[in-house]
Structure 1
Amino acid sequence: MTETATRDFTTIGVIGLGTMGAGIAEVFARNGRRVIGVEVNDGAVERGRQHLEHSTGRAVKRGKMAEDEQAELLGRITLTTRMEDLADADLVVEAVVESLEVKKSIFRTLDSVVRPDAVLATNTSSLSVTEISTANARPGRVVGVHFFNPAPVQDLVEIIRTVVTEPDVLADVQRLLVGMGKNPVVCGDKAGFIANTLLFGYLNHAVAMYEAKYASREDIDAAMRFGCGYPMGPLALLDLIGLDTAYEILDTMYKQGRDRLHAPAPILKQYVTAGLLGRKSGRGFYTYEAPDSPVVVPDVHTPSEADKPQLRHDIRLVGVVGTGTMAAGIVEVFARAGHDVLFTGRSQDKVDGVVAAISRSMDKQVQRGRATEEEKTAVLGRMRGTTSLDDLADVDLVVEAIAEDLAVKTTLFENLDEICRGGRGGAGAILATTTSSLPIIAMAKVTNRPQDVVGMHFFNPASVMKLVEVVSTVATDEDVTETVLALCERIGKVPVRCGDRAGFIVNALLFPYLNDAVKMLEAHYATADDIDTAMKQGCALPMGPFELLDVVGNDVSLAIQRELYLEFREPGFAPAPLLEHLVTAGYLGRKTGRGFRDYSSR
C-alpha cells in the first residue's frame, strides 16, 4: 500500500502562536484535529491562549459557535514550550517570525523530534521554502502552507511546492485542506507566491504614482475602489498591511527576481525609517486617530472644504457625440441629473437606438423601484437627438464618446472647435473626451481653445459606475478642470483628477497587474484557475485576472498594455507574449467564445 493511501493527519503541531499561528491552530481544532501549540516561553504561551479564547469568543458572540463547541474546540488544543511534545505530530506547521535563520533553526530541531513520515510545513509569506527545507534531513517532506489572515475566516491557502517536495506530500496536504473546507492553490517556490507577487507589484506601482505627485492619495484610492470595485484603495491597504511588512515583502521579491517593478518605491523606505508604519503606528499614507485604529482623521494633506471644486462655468445644456453604449449611458446620466441633453448620431436609426436603450434602462429602474414612471417621462423629455453636429452650437459642455481612433477624434475636435461657442472666462463651451487611452493633448492642439479641452473618462456602464477620471492636459485651464470635477459630483459621480498620460490612474494600475498574471501563467507557475482563486479569495477582488481579461477583451487589453509600454518604456510593461498570441489567434475572450477559457460550450 502506498504512503499516500495510509497517511492520516490526526495530530497537528503548530509552532508560533501569534495572531496567525493561533488562527491556524484554531482551524485544525475546528475540524476535529488534536493540536499541539508550541511557543518560546510561558508568557508567549499565555498570549497564544488569549488569542484563541478571544477569537473563539467572538464566534460565540456572533452566534457562529455555541459555548460548548468553544470549550470542546479549546480542549483539543494543548499548549507547551517543549518542542519534544511534537513527537507524535503527523503534520507540523511553523508560523514564527519571517526570519530565515529562525525558521531554519526550527526545521533542524524538528529532525530529531518528529517521525520520519511526518510532514513539515512553513507558513512563510515571502521567504524561500526551498531554503527553509534544506535545514531538514528530509527536504522532500517540506512544503509551504501559506494561510491568509484571519486563518479561521479566509478560505484561501497557497500550497508551495519546492523542486524536491515529494508528490504524495503535496497531494496529502492538498487533500487535508480541501477536507477542512479550505480552497488550496498550488504554486512554485518564488518570493510572493501567487497573491503577494501580483498584489505587491500593483501596490508598489500605486506608491510610485503617489510619490510622483501624479494624483492625490484620496484620488488613487477612490479610483481603484469605484473604478474596479476593489474593497480598499492601494494606499489604505498598505496602511492596513503595515508599510514595514510591505517593504520587506517587496525587498525580498526584488532580491530574488530582480524585477525593477518590485524594487520598493523610495518613499516607502522613508516612511518606514521615520516610523510611519500605517495603522499600527497611527500614521502612514493616512493619519489615524490612534495606533491600531481604523479611523482616518484629517491631516495636512486632507483636502479642506474650501478646496472643494466649484462650477466656474455655467453648465446647463450638455451635448454628447456618439450613439454607442457609452454615449447612451452618458446621456442617461446627465438627463437623470436634471440636465437638458442634446446628442448627435450619424443616422436617425442610431439616434432612435439611443432613445430606445435609455427607455429600456429606465423601465428596468422603474421595475426595481429605483425610479417612477413620472421620472422616466421627465428623463426622456430632457433628451433630444440630432444627426447634425451643427446643432451643438449652443451647448455649454460637449462630451465626445466615439470610437477610440485618434484620427477620427481629432477631426471631430476640429469641427467642435468651429461649431461650439468660444470665449474665455467661462463664456466658451468646454470640450471633453471620454478616451481611455489616447493622448488628450493631441485632440486639444487641433483646436483654437486647448485651455477648454479636458478628459472625462466614464467607466462602463456609465449609468451604473460611479467613477469619472477628470484628466487635465498641460494646456487645460484650472477653471475648466474645477468645473468638470464639480459637475461630476452634481450628477452623482465620484470624480478623481489626474494628468494626461497613458492609462490615467485606473488602467495604469490595473493592466500591468493583469499583464503580470499572464506572465505567471505563461511561466507555468500556477494555473489560471488557481491564480484567479488566489486573487479573489486572498485579496477580496471581485474578479480574478483571467476572468477580467476575458470580459474586457484580450484585444482591448493588449492595446492598452501597448500604450502603457510605449509611454513609460518600462520593460516590465511589455505585453506578455501569451497575450499577443491569443489575440493573433482570435481568442479575444467572452465576445469570441474563447480567451483564457473556452466559453463555446457554456
Structure 2
Amino acid sequence: MAREFSTVGVVGLGTMGAGIAEVLARTGVQVVAVEVDDAGVERGRGHIEHSTSRAVAKDKLTDAERDALLGRITYSLSLADLAAADLVIEAIPESLELKARIFSELDGIVGPETILASNTSSLSITEIGVHTGRPGKVVGLHFFNPAPVLKLTEVVRTVVTEPDVVADVVAFAEKLGKEPVVMGDRAGFIANALLFGYLNHAVAMYESKYATREDLDAAMRFGCGYPMGPLALLDLIGLDTAYEILETMYAQSRNRLHAPAPILKQMITAGLLGRKTGRGFYTYDGPDSPNVVADAHTPAAGGDAGVSIREVQRVGVVGTGTMATGIAEVFARKGFDVVLRARSTDKAEAAVGKVRKSLDRQVAKGKLSEEDRDAIIGRISPAVEFEELADCDLVIEAVAEELAIKQAVFGALDEVVKPGAILATTTSSLPVIECAAATSRPSDVVGLHFFNPAPIMKLVEIVETISTAADVIATAHALCEKVGKVPVHCGDRAGFIVNALLFPYLNDAIKMLEAHYAGADDIDSAMKVGCGLPMGPFELLDVVGLDVSLAIERTLYNEYREAGYAPAPLLEHLVTAGRLGRKTGKGFRDYS
C-alpha cells in the first residue's frame, strides 16, 4: 500500500516552487513553503494568490476552495520548520552546489523515513543524493511549468533509490492528478533529453542560414503538428536556460549533438534571452510579451520584388501512388488542368478513380457538392505516354523513392516537355540536384515536397539546388500559396527541414529505449503530455513505418556522417525481423 504524505515541504518559491505548492495544497496536503528571505516569501505568496484568483475567475475554484487552499500553506524562512514533513521537494535555481548544500542541511533536520526530492530539470539526482546520509530516499520529481496546468511529472530513480520510494512517489503524483513517468538518472531525463537535442539542431540550421527562423518554425508546426516551432519555443523557455540544460547534457553524454550551438552563447552574451528580455530569435513588443513584431530579419511581404513569376495553367503529375493522386487532387481543386501519367491505361484510370474516391468522401461529409466533384474530376486527364505532358507548365514527379527511377523519369521529361516548364520532384530525402543532373535544364528543376495526405497537410518544402533559377523558386512559392499550402524554403540537403529535425529525435528515443532508460509508454507520455506533441515517438514510428524510418535515418547518416545520426541497432533489428509498424501489425507495439 502506498505511503501517505500528509505534510510536504517545498524549498524555493520561484515560479516552479510556487506552482508546486499550489498543486499540493489543492489536493488537501499541508504545505510548508520555505524561502531564503521575506521578499522571496512575498513573491511566492503573490504567485499563488494570483494563480488561484485566475482559477476562481475561470470557475475552476470556488472562493471557499481558494481560501481553504491558501490556508493549507505555511510560509517560513527556516529549513528547521520542515522537521515534520513526510516529503520535501526542492525547487531552487539550477546549481548543483546550491542543491547539494540544501539536501545536506535537510538530511540533518527531517526524520529518517522522509523522502527528499529535487525538481531539477537536468542535474544529476545521484550527485545531489550523495550529499545526504539517505541516498536511497532521494528521488527526482520534475514538474513542468506551469505546474498547476501541465500534467506530466518525471520521477527519476538513481541506481540506489529504494523501489518503495519510487512506488510511493509515483502513487503520490497520481493522487495530485499528474501523469508520472519513471526513468533513470541521465541529464535531461526524458522530455528535455529528447527535446533539447532537437532544439539545438534547429538552432544549428538557423545559424548556418540553411533556412529562416520563420520557415524552420512553420515547417515543424505545419509538417508535424507541433504546437510551437523550435525557435519560438526556445524564446519562450529562455536561451540562457536552454544553454544550461544543453551544457549539462553534453557534460554527461559527450554527444556532439548536445554541445550548444555557438550562436546561443553569442545571443546570451548580447542579452538576447528570448521573451523575458523582449528579444531572442524573434523580437517582441516588450519584455515577457508573446507578441512578435517585425524586425530587420523579418521577410519582406511579397517575397523577392523584381523576380518574375512563370505562368502555370496546366500541371502534370507522374505517378499513381497516394502522393501522386493527392497532389493531382490539390491542383484540380484549385482550377488547374491536370495530366495524371501512369505506366498503363488501367493504372492511369485507377489513379483517377482514387481521386474520385477521395472526393466522394468529401461529398458524403457535406464538404463538397456533387457538381464541384464532377468539375474537379473533369479537370484531370489520365495519360500513359510522356509526350502527353509536353505542353504542361509544371510537371511534378511522384514515383518510387529510388534515385535511378526518378532520374529516368526526369530524363524522359527533359526530352518531351516544352522549354520554360518547371520540373519538380516530391522526394522526401533524395538529392534534388541528382534529378536535375539527369536533364539539360537543371535551372528549371526544384523540389516540391508535399506531406501525406497532400489534400489535408498544409506544408510544402520548396527545395532549391545550387542550380535552381530564382524565378523557378518564386513561381513555386506563389503556386503553393495559390493552392492553399504553406511554403517553406530550404537548401538541397538530406531530410530538408522536417525529416532532418524529426528523425534524429526519433532515433534518440529508440536509443533511450534500447538502453532500458525508460519504457516506450513512458517516453511517449513524456513527449505528448510534457511537450504537447500530437504523438509520442514510438506511436509515430509505427505509423510512418520502421522500414521507411530506417531508410531516412540511413540517408541522414550518409549525408552528415554524424555519429549521433547512426540508426539505433534496435531499429535495424526490428526491421530485419519484419516488425515494420502498423502496416504489419507489429512494430514497437503489437496491433490487433
Q: TM-score range by the shorter chain?
A: over 0.9
Whether 1:401 aligns to 2:398 is yes
Determine if contact 2:2/2:168 at 8 Å carries over to the other structure.
no
Q: What is the Cα deviation at residue 347 of structure 1?
A: 2.0
Q: Distance in 2 between matches of 1:326 and 1:251?
A: 42
Whether 1:595 aligns to 2:576 is no
Whether 1:92 aligns to 2:88 is yes
Match of 2:519 in 1: 527
Q: Distance in 2 between matches of 1:404 and 1:89?
A: 61
Q: What is the Cα deviation at residue 311 of structure 1?
A: 6.0
Map residues 196-345 of structure 1 onto 2, 5 A cutoff. Answer: 196-307=192-303, 312-345=309-342
Deviations 1:102-144 (A, max 9, x none): 1111111112211111111000001111111111111111100
Q: Distance in 1 between matches of 2:534 and 2:352?
A: 32
Q: Is the partner of 1:513 in helix, strand or coil?
A: helix
Q: Is the partner of 2:189 in helix, strand or coil?
A: coil
Q: What is the Cα deviation at residue 308 of structure 1?
A: 5.5
Q: Distance in 1 between matches of 2:544 and 2:75?
A: 51
Determine if contact 1:311/1:486 at 8 Å carries over to the other structure.
no
Q: Is the partner of 1:460 in helix, strand or coil?
A: coil
What is the aligned counterpart of 1:127 among 123, 129, 152? Answer: 123
Deviations 1:307-334 (A, max 9, x none): 3577611000000011111001000000
Q: What is the Cα deviation at residue 152 of structure 1?
A: 1.0
Q: Give the fraction of aligned pairs with identical amino acids, expressed as a percent.
A: 67
What is the aligned counterpart of 1:181 among 171, 177, 180? Answer: 177
What is the aligned counterpart of 2:353 among 353, 356, 376? Answer: 356
Determine if contact 2:340/2:383 at 8 Å carries over to the other structure.
yes
Deviations 1:343-376 (A, max 9, x none): 1111222222222222222222233332222221
Structure 1, unmatched stretches of 5+, are 423-427
Deviations 1:396-426 (A, max 9, x none): 000000101111111111100001001xxxx
Q: What is the Cα deviation at residue 306 of structure 1?
A: 4.7
| 2:398 partner amino acid | A
Whether 1:517 aligns to 2:517 is no
| 2:321 partner amino acid | G
- For these two proteins, the number of residue pairs brought into alignment is 591
Structure 2, unmatched stretches of 5+, are none
Q: Distance in 2 between matches of 1:361 and 1:17?
A: 55
Deviations 1:460-489 (A, max 9, x none): 000000000000111111111111011101
- TM-score, with structure 2 as normaliser: 0.98
Which stretches of structure 1, 4 residues or longer, exceed 4 Å deviation after superposition?
308-311
| 2:192 partner amino acid | N
Q: Is the partner of 1:113 in helix, strand or coil?
A: coil
What is the aligned counterpart of 1:420 among 417, 421, 424? Answer: 417
Determine if contact 1:311/1:487 at 8 Å carries over to the other structure.
no
Q: Could you say what the CA RMSD is over the residues aligned between the two structures, in angstroms?
A: 1.1
Match of 2:487 in 1: 495
Q: What is the Cα deviation at residue 194 of structure 1?
A: 0.5
Determine if contact 1:351/1:387 at 8 Å carries over to the other structure.
yes
Q: Distance in 2 between matches of 1:290 and 1:438?
A: 43
Determine if contact 2:2/2:171 at 8 Å carries over to the other structure.
no
Q: Distance in 1 between matches of 2:448 and 2:70?
A: 57
| 1:465 partner amino acid | M
Deviations 1:370-392 (A, max 9, x none): 22222212211111111222100
What is the aligned counterpart of 2:4 among 2, 8, 12? Answer: 8
Q: Distance in 1 between matches of 2:56 and 2:380?
A: 56
Match of 2:459 in 1: 467
| 1:355 partner amino acid | V
Q: Distance in 2 between matches of 1:382 and 1:6?
A: 67
Q: Distance in 1 between matches of 2:53 and 2:31?
A: 19
Match of 1:574 in 2: 566
Q: Distance in 1 between matches of 2:74 and 2:308?
A: 66
Q: Is the partner of 1:21 in helix, strand or coil?
A: helix
What is the aligned counterpart of 2:36 among 15, 18, 40? Answer: 40
Q: Is the partner of 1:413 in helix, strand or coil?
A: helix
| 1:412 partner amino acid | V
Q: Is the partner of 2:182 in helix, strand or coil?
A: strand
Q: Distance in 2 between matches of 1:388 and 1:100?
A: 69
Deviations 1:48-81 (A, max 9, x none): 1111111111111111111111111111111111
Deviations 1:539-597 (A, max 9, x none): 11000000000100111001000010110111111111101111111111001111111
Q: Is the partner of 1:496 in helix, strand or coil?
A: strand
Q: Distance in 1 between matches of 2:387 and 2:318?
A: 11
Match of 1:55 in 2: 51
Whether 1:433 aligns to 2:429 is no
Q: Is the partner of 2:390 in helix, strand or coil?
A: helix
Q: Distance in 2 between matches of 1:108 and 1:305?
A: 58
Q: Is the partner of 1:164 in helix, strand or coil?
A: coil
Match of 1:118 in 2: 114
Q: What is the Cα deviation at residue 46 of structure 1?
A: 0.9
Q: Distance in 2 between matches of 1:504 and 1:529?
A: 29
Q: Distance in 2 between matches of 1:138 and 1:20?
A: 25
Whether 1:506 aligns to 2:506 is no
Match of 2:16 in 1: 20
| 1:542 partner amino acid | P
Q: Is the partner of 1:385 in helix, strand or coil?
A: strand
Does the C-alpha gap of structure 1 residues 590 and 306 become closer, same or farther in structure 2, counting only changes over 3 Å? closer
| 1:22 partner amino acid | A
Q: Is the partner of 1:305 in helix, strand or coil?
A: coil
Q: Is the partner of 1:394 in helix, strand or coil?
A: coil
Q: Distance in 1 between matches of 2:300 and 2:343?
A: 45
Deviations 1:193-221 (A, max 9, x none): 00000000000000000000001110011
| 1:153 partner amino acid | V
| 1:91 partner amino acid | L
Match of 1:388 in 2: 385
- TM-score, with structure 1 as normaliser: 0.97
Determine if contact 2:2/2:167 at 8 Å carries over to the other structure.
no
Q: What is the Cα deviation at residue 232 of structure 1?
A: 0.5
Q: Distance in 1 between matches of 2:275 and 2:168?
A: 39
Q: Distance in 2 between matches of 1:550 and 1:409?
A: 27
What is the aligned counterpart of 1:377 among 374, 377, 383? Answer: 374
Q: Distance in 2 between matches of 1:374 and 1:75?
A: 66
Match of 1:64 in 2: 60
Does the C-alpha gap of structure 1 residues 6 and 462 become closer, same or farther in structure 2, counting only changes over 3 Å? closer
Match of 2:541 in 1: 549
Q: Distance in 2 between matches of 1:518 and 1:311?
A: 47
Match of 1:83 in 2: 79
Q: Distance in 2 between matches of 1:207 and 1:278?
A: 13
Whether 1:103 aligns to 2:95 is no
Deviations 1:265-317 (A, max 9, x none): 00010000110000001000000010100000000010112535776110000
